Amino acid sequence: MGVIRQIWPVERGLDDHDLEQLYRYPADPRWVAVNFVSSTDGAITVEGRSASLSTPADRIVYRLGNDLADVVLVGAGTAMAEGFEGMRPDERSADRRRRFGLAPIAPVAVVTTGRSLPPDAPVITKAAVPTLVFTSAAAPSSLRDEWAANGARVFVVGATEVPASEVVSTLVAEGLGRIDCEGGPRLFGSLIEAGVVDEFRLTVAPFLVAGASSRAAVGGVIDPASLELASVLTDGKSVLLRYVIPR
């Protein structure tokens, strides 16, 4: 892999410390950063998974998102499709979390209406720390009990849907305000509609995919939200973009 360089707002080479400073979460009680990788023609998956699009540079910033967050937020469909099993920091990640004053392991928070998250989902049963499951009152109580019996902490935050604003406010109340969201598109769309996204981190990978792959965000129609470009990095192949959303 080529060396990652910043090409905007200034050109410079970047070491690990520089990357940590770029991707660290600001001193804010709530910061929601959303991460996606996309092909150059806009596809976010190949055969239903994003892993085929990820590049060495993307994996570096993906890891930074995990390492520097209080919690990793994901939709249940994405958790199942991608085989999420929770975070397991290696020595390098553990050291990074220590230096930034973070808990040894970031929990995963999963959003589901119930149908998409079986009680034995790996993101629950194989997680090193309890997974937080956010669901609605419409999810069967028996299913909620099974999630809890398998080690999850279950939060009911809506009647029939799961309001993104309540998910985020509950995480903040739990002391988990540095939120790394890793999709999927419906969760991202609901976060946009709720007005709680603070940063969008997009890797443009050097692939053409075509087909009928989904876009990064789907949901209700909103007035276009204005973004501010924060940084542009590249390793000579992938382009790593960071945008912030003014509050």
pLDDT of 175-196, one tens digit each?
Answer: 999 999 998 899 999 999 999 9
Q: Choose among 86, 94, 97, 81: nearest CA to 153.
A: 86
With residues binned 3-state (H G I as helix, E B as strand, rest as coil), the percentages for the chain, rounded to 5, are: 30, 25, 45
Domains by residue range for the chain, with CATH? 5-244 (3.40.430.10)
Across the beta sheet with 31-39, the strand order is 12-13, 5-8, 228-234, 239-244, 199-205, 31-39, 178-181, 71-75, 108-111, 132-136, 153-158
d(CA 147, CA 21): 37
Give this prediction's pTM.
Answer: 0.94
Share of residues in the chain with pLDDT > 90 (%): 83
What pLDDT sits at residue 2?
65
Residue 51: predicted pLDDT:
79
Residue 1 has pLDDT above 50, yes or no: no
54-69 residue pLDDT tens = 999 999 999 999 999 9
